[in-house]
């Protein structure tokens, strides 16, 4: 029996792990947790073969500590977790923001709070990804909606972490993590792999220099340049400062290097938006329901379209305003009680808006979305 060439049947979690190895990850420190366990399993089996190291840690605080350490000496480092583990990681996420240490965290979201429903999906950590760690900071969070996109976006997550020297969070959910579908990626679809900008000038090295790019150059620890890494607010040399002008400059720089580069960072997909009068804004696995809902609405002569956000943080408010302002209705379905909806509602100003909550620990049914749009349009006398 000769086997035909076909797309590989692949799970979202495995695609994430494969993407990490493709991106050049050389260190994984983690503590397996449902529904992200397959990522750790795959990394344990495959990362050593690719020349990297896998380390099972005693808990999630140690996991993120380990990957931060590995990144300081120049590794592209990675961990995977879910709700309870993500909560434990929060403090050190802030440390990585402050000390500008690139790390990638995959959070395969499950229903919470606390232990919640380990095997069921949700998108309840969207705000935690943004504001879980204390203090003013910016962060990058990406939410893929298919197995293939998980692979591509994991590579991009590493690229962004390296380019902007910041933590990047891949916000998957149980549905995408455990979904299996055909996976077929051609070489030209794979993004170029980016490495941290390094310098060889050890003598004159200023570790947190205010350059126009806002991202300082890097020399790995242990390579001859002696410098200070700290969670304290620091000056360009890395030492504690409380001088108001230095403090302000520092905080604005680590914030602006992300918030002022939204055009480079933020990705999205438009679906049937050319003549859309009703817009659904969605992300992650629920965007798959939303696409089906748009098709259903088009079949009943409602001109519906979808904006699918791939990058959730930094929030692309300009795009949302431009595409949604003045439409008949904007609907935002989310597998939570309304988190990113708050941002969308803020961005679209006075456009009619409805936030559709999904708290059933399951995907929102496309029919529920379509019916809601039609009933809201009827209420407003639009159909």
Partner 1 sequence: MKTQIRLSGTGGQGIIKIAVILADAALYDGFNAVQSQAYGPESRGGASKGEVVISDTEIFYPKVELPDIVLCLSQEACDKYAYDIRSGGILLIDSQHCSVDMEKLQGVNIYASPIISTAKTVIGNPLCVNTVALGTLVSLTNTVSKDAVLMAMEDNFKTKILPLNIQAYEEGRKLCMKLLQENKRRAKAMERLKRRPSK
Residues in touch with partner 1 (CB under 8 A): 1, 3-4, 6-7, 9, 34, 118-120, 175, 178-182, 285, 288-289, 291-292, 295, 362-363, 365-367
Asked if 290 and 369 count as a contact pair (C-beta separation under 8 A), the reply is yes
**Of 227 and 271, CB closest to partner 1:** 271
Question: With respect to partner 1, which residue has the nearer C-beta, 93 or 176?
Answer: 176
Side-chain-facing half-sphere of 192: CA atoms under 13 Å: 3
End-to-end CA distance of the chain: 58
Minimum distance, C-beta of residue 373 to partner 1, in the bound complex (Å): 16
Nearest approach, Cβ of residue 344 and partner 1 (Å)? 21
CA 112, 117, 118, 124 torsion-angle sign:
negative
Q: For residues 180 and 228, which CB has a smaller minimum distance to partner 1 in the complex?
A: 180
Task: Kindly state the smallest distance separating residue 316's Cβ from partner 1, in Å.
Answer: 22
Least Å distance, CB 306 to partner 1, is: 10
Whose Cβ is closer to partner 1: residue 55's or residue 332's? 332
Tokens of 335: 């597998």
Minimum distance from residue 211 beta carbon to partner 1 (Å): 44
**Helix, strand, or coil here: 78?**
strand
The residue among 76 and 175 lying less far from partner 1, judged by its C-beta, is 175
Q: Where are the alpha helices (DSSP H) in the chain?
A: 12-22, 37-46, 60-72, 83-98, 126-131, 147-164, 174-178, 244-259, 262-265, 286-299, 317-324, 340-347, 366-379
CA angle, residues 287, 333, 93, in degrees to nearest 5: 75
Q: Given the complex with partner 1, which of 44 and 368 has the nearer CB atom?
A: 368
Residue 342 CB, nearest approach to partner 1 (Å) = 26
Q: How far apart are CA 275 and CA 327, in angstroms?
A: 11
Of 38 and 343, CB closest to partner 1:
38
Nearest to residue 59, comparing CAs of 94, 22, 87, 95?
87
The smaller minimum CB distance to partner 1, of residues 209 and 362, is found at 362
CB 312 within 8 A of CB 171: yes
List the one residue out of 376, 379, 382 whose CA is nearest residue 330.
Answer: 376
Q: Least Å distance between CB 122 and partner 1?
A: 14
User: Closest distance between partner 1 and the C-beta of residue 193, in Å?
Assistant: 28
Q: Give least dist CB 216 to partner 1, A.
A: 43
Residue with smaller CB distance to partner 1, 226 or 367? 367
CB 347 within 8 A of CB 320: yes
**Looking at beta carbons only, is 196 or 291 nearer to partner 1?**
291
Neighbours of 9 (CB within 10 A): 10
CA angle 303, 306, 307 (to 5 degrees): 140
DSSP letters, 86-135, are HHHHHHHHHHHHHTT--EEEEEEEEE-STT-EEEEE--TTHHHHHHSSSS
- Minimum distance of partner 1 from residue 82's CB (angstroms): 13
d(CA 334, CA 358): 6
């Amino acid at each position: 029996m000769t086997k035909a060439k076909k797309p590989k049947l692949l799970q979202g979690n495995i695609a994430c792990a494969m993407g990490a190895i493709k991106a050049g990850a050389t260190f994984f420190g983690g503590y397996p947790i449902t529904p992200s366990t397959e990522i750790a399993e795959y990394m344990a089996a495959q990362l050593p073969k690719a020349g990297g190291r896998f380390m099972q840690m005693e808990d999630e605080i140690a996991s993120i500590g380990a990957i931060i350490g590995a990144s300081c000496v120049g590794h592209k480092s990675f961990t995977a977790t879910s709700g309870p583990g993500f909560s434990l990681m929060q403090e050190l996420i802030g440390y990585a923001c402050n000390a500008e240490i690139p790390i990638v965290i995959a959070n395969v979201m499950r229903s919470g709070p606390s232990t919640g429903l380990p095997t069921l999906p949700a998108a309840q950590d969207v705000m935690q990804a943004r504001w879980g760690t204390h203090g003013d900071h910016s962060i990058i969070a990406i939410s893929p909606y298919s197995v293939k996109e998980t692979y591509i976006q994991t590579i991009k997550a590493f690229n962004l972490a390296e380019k902007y020297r910041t933590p990047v969070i891949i916000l998957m959910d149980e549905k995408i993590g455990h979904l299996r579908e055909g996976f077929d990626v051609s070489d030209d679809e794979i993004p170029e792999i980016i490495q941290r900008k390094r310098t060889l000038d050890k003598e004159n090295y200023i570790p947190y220099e205010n350059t126009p790019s806002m991202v300082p150059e890097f020399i790995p620890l242990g390579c001859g340049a002696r410098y200070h890494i700290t969670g304290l607010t620091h000056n360009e040399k890395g030492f504690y400062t409380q001088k108001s002008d230095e403090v302000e400059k520092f905080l604005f720089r680590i914030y602006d290097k992300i918030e002022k580069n939204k055009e480079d960072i933020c990705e999205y997909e438009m679906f049937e938006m050319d003549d859309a009068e009703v817009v659904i804004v969605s992300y992650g696995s629920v965007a798959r329901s939303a696409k089906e809902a748009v098709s259903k609405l088009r079949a009943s002569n409602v001109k519906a379209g979808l904006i699918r956000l791939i990058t959730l943080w930094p929030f692309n408010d300009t795009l949302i305003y431009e595409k949604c302002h003045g439409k008949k209705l904007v609907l935002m379905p989310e597998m939570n009680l309304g988190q990113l909806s708050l941002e969308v509602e803020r961005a679209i100003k006075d456009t009619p808006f409805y936030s559709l909550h999904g708290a059933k620990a399951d995907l929102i049914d496309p029919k529920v979305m379509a019916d809601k749009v039609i009933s809201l349009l009827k209420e407003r006398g639009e159909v």
